[in-house]
Amino acid sequence: MLKKFVLGQLQTNCYMMINDKKEAFIVDPGDNGQKIRHYLTENGLELTAILLTHGHFDHIGAVDYLYDLYHCPIYAHKETIEIAEDPFLNLSTMSSPMVLSAPITPVDGNMEINGYQIEWLFLPGHCKGSSMIRVLNENIIFSGDVLFKGSIGRFDFPTSSRHDTKQSLKYIKELDYDAVVYPGHGEDTTLNNEKLYNPYLRK
């Protein structure tokens, strides 16, 4: 089961994957940790992991709150750690400066969480460490700010790269499968639709 929350001033999408054993992992808890906790408690769910597509403040804002409650592992690409711990790099100076103090376990490859097979796709450009997270046995991708419906993430932030963005888009265009895409902002889409209609993938 997939549950979506829209959190914080930037309307960031946070996703919760729930299995039949009522175990859950969360992708990008950007704000309103109390709302997430309430949903977990009301539905008798066990939070087993937090996954981060990247380290910008609107995707990590509730991580410390949830970690203090559940002490679950937090996974992200290793380059995300530097960003999450620096208010200039994580862009929180635009709002209320913050740093992530909860420990992040660096990953770069495949793993299993709650019976879900997870593949990490390292796709920098929006920022260092930026990734898409593919759940193979559900045929879905959490694309963070790499890919949106009809658009892509900005590449004019600290640690952004126009060159890396182009390389990441080339990688996405060459993926030989379709999947439902759940982005960090906005509506869900599919890889095939984006290959057909997203102007950034048609260049």
Q: What CATH number has the domain bearing residue 26?
A: 3.60.15.10
Measure the CA–CA gap between 120 and 144, rounded to whole angstroms: 12
Tell me the pTM: 0.96
Q: Label residues 154-169 b or e (16+ Cβ within 10 Å = b).
A: ebebebbbeebbeebb
Strands 131-135 and 140-144 come out as antiparallel
Is residue 30 within 8 Å of 8, Cβ to Cβ?
Answer: yes
pLDDT at res. 118: 97
Residue 203: its pLDDT value, please?
67
Domain count along the chain? 1
| Maximum Cα–Cα distance across the chain | 47
- Which SS3 state, helix, strand or coil, does residue 152 take? strand
Note down the domain range covering 87.
2-201
The pLDDT of residue 107 is: 94
pLDDT means over runs of 10, the chain (203 residues): 94 97 98 97 98 97 97 97 95 90 92 97 97 97 98 96 97 96 98 96 81
- β strands within the chain, DSSP E: 2-7, 12-18, 23-27, 46-51, 74-76, 105-106, 110-113, 116-122, 131-135, 140-144, 147-148, 151-152, 180-183, 189-190
Could you tell me which residues are beta bridge partners of residue 12?
7
